[in-house]
Amino acid sequence: VVSIHCSMVNVKKKLINDPRNVVEEMVRGICAVHSDKLVRLEGFTVLLHRNINTIKANQVTLISGGGSGHEPAHAGYIGDGMLSGAVLGGVFASPSTTSVLAAIRAACGSHGVLLIVKNYTGDRINFGQALLVARTEGIIVEMVVVDDDCALPEGKGVTGGRGVAGTVLVHKAAGAAAAQGLPLTEVAAVARSAAAAVKTLATSMTTCTVPGTTPTDYLDNKTIEMGLGIHGEPGMIQKPWKPAAELVEDMLNVIASRLQPSTVCVQEVVNQQRPQSPTRHSLQEFKFSASSRQPVKNERAVNYEASEENPHNTRTLPLSRKVTEQRHPESKKNTTHAAAIINYEELSIITSEETETPAPPPAPPRYNKGDRPIVLMVNSLGGTPTMERYIVAYDALRVCRRMGFEPVRVMVGAFMTALEMQGVSLSMLPVDGEDGALLLERIDRPTTALAWTGSSTESYIVKSMKPARAPIVMALSPRCADPHWVITPTAVVAIEAACDALEAAEPQLTAWDQIAGDGDCGITVQRGAVAVRAVAPMLAGMNAAKAYGAIADAVAGSMGGSLGALLEILFRAGRIHLLEDDDDEILISEKERRGGWACCGTRVRKAYGPDASSMIVDHSGALYAGTNAIMSIGGAEPGMRTMLDALVPAVEKLRKSQSRDDWKKAVRAAEEGAEGTLLMEGLAGRSNYINAELLKTVPDPGAKAVAIAFRAALEATSC
Amino acid at position 301, single letter: A
Q: How far, in Å, CA of 434 to CA of 314, rounded?
A: 25
Answer whether 423's CB lies under 8 Å from 251's CB.
no
Question: What string of DSSP letters covers 149-194?
Answer: B-SSPTTSTTT-SPP-THHHHHHHHHHHHHHTT--HHHHHHHHHHH
Return the DSSP state at 486.
B
> Which CA distances in Å does 354 have to 293, 351, 361, 384?
12, 6, 21, 44
Residues 6+ apart with CB under 8 A from 101: 130, 133, 134
Tell me phi and psi for residue 176, to 5 degrees: -65, -40
Q: Nearest Cα to 169, choosing from 51, 83, 103, 292?
A: 83
Residues 6+ apart with CB under 8 A from 666: 649, 650, 651, 653, 654, 710
Tell me phi and psi for residue 226, to 5 degrees: -115, 140
Tell me phi and psi for residue 403, to 5 degrees: -85, -10
Question: What string of DSSP letters covers 60-103?
Answer: -EEEEEEEESSTTTTGGGBSTTSBSEEEEEEET-PPPHHHHHHH
User: How big, in percent rounded to 5, are the helix, strand and coil portions of the chain?
Assistant: 40, 15, 45
Report which secondary-structure segment, H or E, holds 139.
none
Residues 6+ apart with CB under 8 A from 466: none
Give one word for 519, left, alpha or beta, with left for phi > 0 and alpha for psi -120 to 50. left
Q: Nearest Cα to 501, choosing from 711, 683, 219?
A: 711
Give one word for 541, left, alpha or beta, with left for phi > 0 and alpha for psi -120 to 50. left
Q: How far, in Å, CA of 587 to CA of 602, rounded?
A: 9
Residue 480, classed as helix, strand or coil, is: helix
Give one word for 242, left, alpha or beta, with left for phi > 0 and alpha for psi -120 to 50. beta
Give one word for 58, left, alpha or beta, with left for phi > 0 and alpha for psi -120 to 50. alpha
CA 375 to chain centre: 17
Q: How far, in Å, CA of 52 to CA of 40, rounded?
A: 11
Q: At what angle do helices 644-653 and 619-634 cross, to 10 degrees?
A: 150
Q: At what angle do helices 433-444 and 166-179 cross, to 10 degrees?
A: 90
Q: Nearest Cα to 85, choosing from 38, 31, 117?
A: 38
CB atoms within 10 A of CB 587: 13
Tell me phi and psi for residue 116, to 5 degrees: -110, 115
> Which of the residues 231, 312, 337, 577 is marked catalytic?
231
CB environment 480-493: b (16+ within 10 A), e (fewer): beeeebbbbebbbb
Question: What string of DSSP letters covers 507-564?
Answer: HHHHHHHHHHSSS-HHHHHHHHHHHHHHHGGGGTTSBHHHHHHHHHHHHHTTT-HHHH
Answer whether 446's CB lies under 8 Å from 412's CB.
no
231 included as an active-site residue: yes
Q: Which positions are annotated as active-site residues?
A: 231
